[in-house]
Amino acid sequence: MNFNLTSTPEEEKFRQEVSDFLDKELTDEIRRQYAIDKGLGPEGRAFALKLGAKGWLGLGWPKEYGGSDGSIIHDFILVQEFARHEVHIPNEVARFMSGPTILHHGSEEMKREFLPRIARGEIEFGLGYTEPPAGSDLLAMQMVAVEKEDCYLITGQKTFNTESHYADYHWLAAKTDLNAPKHESISLFVVDQRSPGITITPIWTLGGERTNEVFYDDVRVPKNRLVGEKNRGFYYMIEALNYERLMMSQTERLVPILNRIIEYTRQTRRNGKLMTEDPLVRNKLAQMAIEIEVSKCLEYRAFAMLFEGRSPDYESGISKLFISELYQRLAYTGMEILGFFGRLDEDSKWVPLRGEISRLCRMSVVYTIGGGTSEIIRNLTATRGLGLPRN
C-alpha cells in the first residue's frame, strides 16, 4: 500500500494554508485548552470561531448544512497539521462523532439545527456513554429513557463526562427498550446540558484535568432530539467509534515531544558526559523513534481504507491501541531520562522541559481507557481480526 499525505498540488496548498494559520494563531494557552487538560476557555472558543469562519469544521459536509468543500483527505490533512502543531481541533466530540452521525442518520430538522452551528464552531458537545457499572461495555449501560406522549423522560447516571461542565449539549446514550436484545435496546439523544433535572459534579483526575459525573432525574427530552431511529443507537455508536479513533489520535503529535527530549539530552551532562554519549539513552530514544514510525504505518493503513471507500473495523482499533500505549511508553522513557528532576511540578523553576513529561506521564493513563480500553480492543482484534472464538 502506498499512501501520501498530500498527493496533489491542491492538497499541498491546503496543508500549507492550515500550517500557516496555526503558526500565526496558536498560543500555549490555546494548546492547553483541551478536554483532558485545562478545558475550554474564552481563548479556545474564539479560536474555534476562527476555524469555523475558515470552513474547516465542516469539511466535506453539504453546504446546505453549513459545510464546505473538501474530502476525507482534507479532513486527514487538517488533523495531521493540528497534531504537528500540538493542538487539538476544538469540540472533537461534535466534529468527529455527533456531527457525522447526525449527518448520516439524523432528521432533516436536526441536521439544520445542529450541523451549521457545529461547522461555525459555535457549540460544544460532551460525550455521555460511560456509566459506573458498565465502563467500556456499552451494552451494559443502565440509564433509561421512557417514551411519553411528547417527550422522553430520562433517569440515570453517566461518569467521566469530561466536557459536561462547559458543553452546550450532551451526546447521550440510553436504554429505550428493556426487553429487547442489548444491541437493539439503546438510542442516542441530543440533550441540552442545562436542562432541569441534570446535576453535574466534578471528578479531578491523576492528570489534573476535570471530568464529571452527570446525574439525570426525570429529565424531559423532546422527541425531536432522538437521533435517527429508536433502538439503533448502538450501531450508530460503533460506526462513529472507528472514525473517532482515527481522527482523534494522531501519531504526529508525539514527534515534537520526542524531539524536545532528544534536544535535552544533547544539552545536558550527567556524570561529566553529555547524555547523548550514553548508549542506554541513545537506545531508548532510538526505540521510541522506531515505534513512532510503526504507529504512523498502522494509522495510515487504517486511513487508506477510508480513503478507498472501505470502513475500517479492527484496523482503527489496532492503531488506537498502539498509539495510546505508545504515549505511555514515551512518557515513561522521558521520565527515566529526566531522572528525579522530571518528577517536579510544572511550576517549579527546576523542572526540565516545563514539566510536560511529568504531565504527559499522568495524563497518558486515560489514553488507554477513552475510546475503548486496551483490553476491549485486544479482544475485538482477536475475534474480528484473527477470527478467534469468544470463549
- As annotated, the active-site residues are 244
User: What stretches of the chain show up as alpha helix (H) in DSSP?
Assistant: 9-25, 28-32, 42-54, 72-84, 92-93, 99-105, 108-120, 233-247, 254-267, 279-307, 314-338, 356-367, 374-380
Query: Cell 481507557 maps to which residue?
Result: 369
Q: What is the rounded distance in angstroms from the CA atom of residue 365 to the CA atom of residue 85? A: 22
Tell the burial category of 155 from Cβ atoms under 10 Å away from its Cβ (0-12, 13-18, 19+): middle
Distances (CA, A) of 93 to 47, 65, 294: 16, 18, 27
Q: What is the rounded distance in angstroms from the CA atom of residue 68 to the CA atom of residue 56? A: 7
The pairing of strands 169-175 and 186-192 is: antiparallel
Cell numbers representing residue 337 in the block: 531520562
Distances (CA, A) of 300 to 5, 69, 252, 355: 9, 23, 11, 31
Q: What is the rounded distance in angstroms from the CA atom of residue 145 to the CA atom of residue 151? A: 10
Q: What is the rounded distance in angstroms from the CA atom of residue 58 to the CA atom of residue 65? A: 9
* Widest CA span in the chain: 78
3-state helix, strand, coil in the chain (%, to 5): 55, 15, 30
Cell numbers representing residue 55 in the block: 470552513
